[in-house]
């Protein structure tokens, strides 16, 4: 069986060993130098320098986003997105190119930073894609809009680029493509029609009470008791307000209150993360959260809680016709056995904003970059967002680049 480690031509283009070595160095540089969401300044400069060296025009968009435009005569206009931000994770992979970088969170906290979700892979593959297409103009025609998007982890970047005039400044594509490295064996491509990832919402809820000495609870309105009741009651939304066939997740990720054991505090706060498969379910769950929070506060004689919306992720919807076109190209280039029907994941993506903003189809897929033996006997490597997440470098570069080539040339290089 052939795999993505092969250097056979993909859609007529061959990855040579010197080329692979060049982009392995690009990947390792990116991996060792991650930056937090909305702080990808050095990463943006590195991308701009690389595109400039290739002779590809580019412009900055969304503060730390970069857009490259590769024109090659008449033909379709295609968008291809790669996200660029890292995560506040202390890397524990032991790689000789492991990140030692730190960053500063919005609250001023200094944290370690790691490319723990594989965005370094996405940037390296996208830059390699640009280089290969620039060197193979005779094999395709049209325009490729390369979108190097910041802030995917915080649902900031795609919207920031759109708000900064992305589609007023770049040619409007007929489809926007994006990909993501996954904990899959090399040679596997994960794709499905319809919703590819969940919608997501994060809220901070502040419950206001009345402070009192711990020995005088009658003089208090205890925000901890009220908030705890809310947390427990929220867990009934999925089990009692949605059909068993409807996937959804309601997670309380943080809970903070008080400074001393004998003081009933003035307030308590907690954060909620919600994952839903579609807009209808999202509306039901979010309305239920508001109802429960309000009712539990009233039951505790507390004022209406304060709800702050921290972020939200849009749908990541794979247009069926466009998905079929990309899947057909994958099957032609890698064999039908490479394709894996993706389940509806509860992870989230903001790439959908890029296509939905201008009413064009989007296609999002995953690719594997791990040795097959890591999956023997039901085992699997550490997944995305783990401090041990470590795609095999060569598989990541070759696999990501070949998948990108196949998907893009499904439009620019095939009739």
Q: Give the pLDDT mean for 248-262.
A: 96
Q: Is 107 helix (H, G, I), strand (E, B) or coil?
A: coil
* Domains of the chain, residue spans: 17-193+319-412, 199-313
CA pair distance 155, 79, nearest whole angstrom: 19
Rounded (10°) angle between helices 119-134 and 17-32: 150
Q: Please say if the pLDDT value at position 303 is more than 80.
A: yes
Q: What is the dihedral of CA 131, 135, 141, 145, to 10 degrees?
A: 20
Domain 199-313 has CATH 3.30.70.360: yes
Per DSSP, helices labelled H in 347-392 are 352-356
Q: Please say if the pLDDT value at position 162 is more than 70.
A: yes
DSSP bridge pairs for 195: 317
Q: Please say if the pLDDT value at position 414 is more than 70.
A: no
Q: Please say if the pLDDT value at position 2 is more than 80.
A: no
How many helices (H) and strands (E) the chain has is answered by 11, 18
Question: Which one, of 145, 139, 149, 40, lies nearest residue 86 by Cα?
Answer: 40
- Top pLDDT among 374 and 12 is at 374
pLDDT band at residue 380 under the 50/70/90 scheme = confident
pLDDT 10s digits, 84-128: 999 999 999 999 999 999 999 998 999 999 999 999 999 999 999
Q: Please say if the pLDDT value at position 6 is more than 80.
A: no
Average pLDDT, the chain: 95
Q: Give the pLDDT mean for 219-230.
A: 97
Rounded (10°) angle between helices 17-32 and 41-54: 160
CA pair distance 319, 194, nearest whole angstrom: 6
The sign one gets for the Cα dihedral 375, 380, 383, 386 is negative
Predicted pLDDT at 89: 97
Contact (CB, 8 A) for 164 and 64: no
The sign one gets for the Cα dihedral 121, 122, 126, 132 is positive
Contact (CB, 8 A) for 350 and 154: no
Predicted pLDDT at 11: 74
Predicted pLDDT at 379: 84
CA pair distance 13, 258, nearest whole angstrom: 62
pLDDT 10s digits, 334-365: 999 999 988 877 889 999 999 999 999 999 99
Contact (CB, 8 A) for 305 and 206: yes
CA pair distance 18, 43, nearest whole angstrom: 24
- Top pLDDT among 373 and 208 is at 208
Contact (CB, 8 A) for 68 and 171: no
Predicted pLDDT at 85: 98
Q: Give the pLDDT mean for 37-43.
A: 97
Predicted pLDDT at 5: 58
CA pair distance 280, 246, nearest whole angstrom: 11
- Top pLDDT among 124 and 372 is at 124
Task: Tell me what percent of the residues of the chain surpass a pLDDT of 70.
Answer: 98
| CA distance between the termini of the chain | 28
Q: Give the pLDDT mean for 391-402.
A: 96
Predicted pLDDT at 415: 52
Q: Please say if the pLDDT value at position 8 is more than 70.
A: no
Concatenating the DSSP letter of every residue in 224-277 gives HHHHHHHHHHHTHHHHHHS-TTS--EEEEEEEEE-SSTTEE-SEEEEEEEEEES
CA pair distance 366, 262, nearest whole angstrom: 52
Instruction: Note the CATH number of domain 17-193+319-412.
Output: 3.40.630.10
pLDDT band at residue 62 under the 50/70/90 scheme = very high
pLDDT band at residue 405 under the 50/70/90 scheme = very high
Q: Give the pLDDT mean for 391-414.
A: 95
Indicate the pTM of the whole model. 0.91
Question: Which one, of 389, 348, 347, lies nearest residue 114 by Cα?
Answer: 389
Q: What is the dihedral of CA 150, 153, 155, 158, to 10 degrees?
A: 30
pLDDT band at residue 377 under the 50/70/90 scheme = confident
Q: Please say if the pLDDT value at position 1 is more than 50.
A: no
Q: Please say if the pLDDT value at position 280 is more than 50.
A: yes
Contact (CB, 8 A) for 131 and 16: no
């Amino acid at each position: 069986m052939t795999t993505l480690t092969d250097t056979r031509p993909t859609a007529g283009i061959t990855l040579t060993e010197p080329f692979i070595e060049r982009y392995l160095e690009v990947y390792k540089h990116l991996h060792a130098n991650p930056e937090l969401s909305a702080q990808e300044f050095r990463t943006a400069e590195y991308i701009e320098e690389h595109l400039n060296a290739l002779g590809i025009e580019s412009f900055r968009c969304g503060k730390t986003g970069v857009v490259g435009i590769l024109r090659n005569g008449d033909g379709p206009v295609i968008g291809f997105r790669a996200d660029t931000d890292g995560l506040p994770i202390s890397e524990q992979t032991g790689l000789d190119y492991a990140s030692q970088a730190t960053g500063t969170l919005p609250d001023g906290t200094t944290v370690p930073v790691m490319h723990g979700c594989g965005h370094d892979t996405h940037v390296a593959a996208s830059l390699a894609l640009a280089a290969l297409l620039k060197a193979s103009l005779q094999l395709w025609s049209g325009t490729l809009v390369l979108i190097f998007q910041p802030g995917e982890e915080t649902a900031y970047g795609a919207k920031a680029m759109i708000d900064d005039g992305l589609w007023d400044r770049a040619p409007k594509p007929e489809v926007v493509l994006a990909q993501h490295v996954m904990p899959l064996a090399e040679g596997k491509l994960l794709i499905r029609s319809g919703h590819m990832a969940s919608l997501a919402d994060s809220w901070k809820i502040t419950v206001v009470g009345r402070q009192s000495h711990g020995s005088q609870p009658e003089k208090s309105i205890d925000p901890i008791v009220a908030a705890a009741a809310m947390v427990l009651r929220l867990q009934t939304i999925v089990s009692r307000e949605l059909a068993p066939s409807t996937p959804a997740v309601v997670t309380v990720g943080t809970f903070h209150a008080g400074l001393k054991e004998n003081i009933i505090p003035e307030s308590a706060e907690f954060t909620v993360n919600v994952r839903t498969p579609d807009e209808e379910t999202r509306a039901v769950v979010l309305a239920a959260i508001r109802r429960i929070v309000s009712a539990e506060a009233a039951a505790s004689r507390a004022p209406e809680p304060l709800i702050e919306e921290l972020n939200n992720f849009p749908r990541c919807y794979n247009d069926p016709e466009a998905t079929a076109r990309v899947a057909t190209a994958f099957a032609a280039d890698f064999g039908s056995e490479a394709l894996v029907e993706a389940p509806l994941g509860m992870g989230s993506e903001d790439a959908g904003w890029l296509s939905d903003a201008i009413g064009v189809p989007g296609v999002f897929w995953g690719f594997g970059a791990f040795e097959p033996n890591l999956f023997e006997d039901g085992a699997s490597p550490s997944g995305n967002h783990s401090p041990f997440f470590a795609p095999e470098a060569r598989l990541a570069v070759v696999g990501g680049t070949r998948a990108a080539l196949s998907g893009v040339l499904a439009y620019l290089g095939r009739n």
